[in-house]
Chain A
Amino acid sequence: MNDFNSNIPIYIQVIKSMKMDIISGKLKPGDKIPSVRELALSLSVNPNTIQKALSELEREGFLVTERAVGRYVSDNQELIEESKNIEIDKRVEYFVKDMKSLGLTLDDIKNHINNLKEDHYE
């Protein structure tokens, strides 16, 4: 995985991608985070950049460090839930704006969503 957009600081993208993994449950509370060097290698990114991203994630409460053992995903369900809701709202808002630009009303959009079939997206 090395699909960073070099126009944006890399550490910001590392933070975002790791937050997504935590919010989506791909990374679960208590999961061990690879070492700085391992991450730098797998992402082909400067180790200091990874260090900066992990420190920020720790400061925000997504990760915790256990001395001499390593970094883990924190068990802060409240924070994870809150971040997830913010992300969902952001995406829904984006989607609704996009649909409105096609001339749909909120009711039209809801109708369309109600007509969706779950198995179509499996």
Chain B
Amino acid sequence: MNNIIEIEGLYKSYGKEDVLKFVNLTLTSGKIIGLLGPNGSGKTTLIKILNGLLKDYKGKVLIDGKPVGKESKAIISYLPDEPYFENWMTTSDAVHLFKDMYKDFDEQKVLQLMEQFNIEKNVKIKNLSKGMKEKFQLSLVMSRKAKIYILDEPIGGVDPAARDLILDTILNNYENDALILLSTHLISDIENIFDEVIFLKNGEVLLHENSEELREKRNASINTIFKEEFKC
């Protein structure tokens, strides 16, 4: 288990507003880690920095020992919180795009997942329902044999019945020694799959602990502890 993500003194502001205030985090591979915090706590900003989408930050961010860049993008499979497909794109276009872009992409796997989710080939992505779009995007992202999966709110838009399916898809398809960093605000639905949880509050790491030890220590669920820490 190596430190596949190392973050030291990470600071980011939008104008006068501090969004990340000197965040330190070390994340090891082979784990499923929950990045938890209310809206505006800095989750998506942190995730965008890890994926090289935001560059004007201060501090040190190392992915597999190297700064964010081409090499880190090649090993991170990223599910953004909003779909990024162009209006003209069909499901098959997106599959081909992933095939061209990522060496570690397994086309057979995505086709199999699409069949499982009843997502057809050659249909315009913009015509899919919100839940279908999420499933399609997750199928693409989980069909890469990546070292790191970063999933920003993967269960946000689907109904509770579909959440189990999404969780199964994640558990069933990731590489054993990979790191999964998953952000969500729907904690109770998903907390049993986390090795570790990170609580982010106003741009600071409030807590980063093993979830089983946390339950033992506080005699409470992660969901309850979260509510206690974030009550207004």
Contact = CB atoms under 8 A, between A and B. Distances in A.
Interface of A: 2, 4-11, 37, 40-41, 43-49, 52
B219 interface: yes
Dominant SS at the B interface? helix
B172 interface: yes
Interface in B173-232: 176, 188, 191-195, 211-213, 215-216, 219-224
B224 A7 contact: yes
B33 to A, nearest CB: 10
Given A6-B215, A41-B168, A41-B171, A46 B193 contact: yes
Contact of B195 (A4, A7, A41, A48): A48
Contact of B171 (A2, A8, A44): A44
Interface residues of B, number: 26
Looking at B30, B188, B212, which has the most chain A CB atoms within 10 Å of its CB? B212
Looking at B164, B171, B192, B222, which has the most chain A CB atoms within 10 Å of its CB? B192
A50 to B, nearest CB: 10
A93 B212 CA distance: 30
Contact of A49 (B176, B212, B220, B223): B212
11 contacts: A2-B164, A6-B188, A8-B215, A10-B212, A41-B172, A43-B192, A44-B164, A44-B168, A45-B192, A46-B195, A48-B195
A9 B193 contact: no
A41 B164 CA distance: 10
A11 B176 CA distance: 19
A5 B213 CA distance: 15
A9 B212 contact: yes
B99 interface: no
Looking at A6, A11, A44, which has the most chain B CB atoms within 10 Å of its CB? A6
A9 B211 CA distance: 8
A44 B170 CA distance: 10
Nearest to B213: A9
B209 to A, nearest CB: 13
B194 A46 contact: yes
Nearest to B222: A6
Interface in B79-99: none
B167 interface: yes
B193 to A, nearest CB: 5
B31 interface: yes
A76 B38 CA distance: 50
Contacts of B31: 48
Given A6-B222, A7-B220, A37-B171, A44 B192 contact: yes
Nearest to B167: A44
Contact of A44 (B30, B193, B213, B221): B193
Contacts of A49: 192, 195, 212
Contacts of A43: 192
A9 B171 contact: no
- Those 7 A-B pairs whose CB atoms lie nearest each other, nearest first: A6-B221, A9-B212, A46-B193, A45-B192, A9-B215, A7-B221, A9-B216
